[in-house]
Structure 1
Amino acid sequence: MCPISVQKVTKMRNSSNMVLLTFFGSTLPDRVNVRPIILRCYSCYSYGHGKSSCKEASRCGNSSALDLHSEEHCNAAAYCFHCRDAHQVRSRQCPRYRLEEDILQDGF
């Protein structure tokens, strides 16, 4: 959650760990506390962008299928397209998710 004084957070295009903070008003805060997060899209379930800026096809969070069925109505077996294992694509046990966690820990 961003403090009230932050108007906008923009990820810099050619950097994996830099963001531009735009503040309301003309007075800058004395300090900014930053908590890194894993950026994951909840439309295509790829990493590095959010749902609002997604340009990829939507996936089912359960089966990784590219059709338009909803996860709540999915009867298929759980399958992760990242690691090709039998768990939901958003699982925190996925090796791909754990890699993203390691990247965050090494970067900060």
Structure 2
Amino acid sequence: MCPSSVQKVTKMRNSSNMILLTFFGSTLPDRVHIGPINLRVRRFVSRPLQCFSCYGYGHGKSSCKEASRCGNCSALDSHSEEHCNVAAYCFHCRDANQVRSVG
């Protein structure tokens, strides 16, 4: 039922309405018809692995060896996000948003 341009179909974890289609080649179609369903195609960009202790990248909380940070204001070892009453600040982008925010 899939078009010949689709190499692989994968159901996304933790999502009831998303599937990941892997295509042959590097050009993505705008839409894909699978049986009677007409699907819009968008490029998938996964988020990098981020630690929820130090908020660094490339490792998880269980293997973290760095000092912990507040997820709201980026302060080191002082308090948790739940007890933070300071304005949000991200040490990665140096902007007024939480450390784990997308943008």
Q: Please state which band the TM-score falls in when normalised by the shorter chain.
A: 0.5 to 0.7
1:57 aligns with 2:63: no
**Higher strand content, 1 or 2:** 2
1:18-97 mapped onto 2 (5 Å cutoff): 38-93=48-103
Per the alignment, do residues 46 and 72 of structure 1 end up closer, same or farther by CA in structure 2, a change over 3 Å counting?
A: same
Question: C-alpha root-mean-square deviation of aligned residues, in Å?
Answer: 1.4
- Structure-2 residue corresponding to 1:101: none
Deviation, 1:84, is: 0.4
- Structure-2 residue corresponding to 1:104: none
- Normalised by the length of structure 1, the TM-score is 0.51
Q: C-alpha separation between the residues in 2 aligned to 1:82 and 1:37?
A: 15
- Normalised by the length of structure 2, the TM-score is 0.53
Choose 1 or 2 for highest CA Rg. 2
**Higher helix content, 1 or 2:** 1
Aligned residues: 59
Q: C-alpha separation between the residues in 2 aligned to 1:60 and 1:37?
A: 20
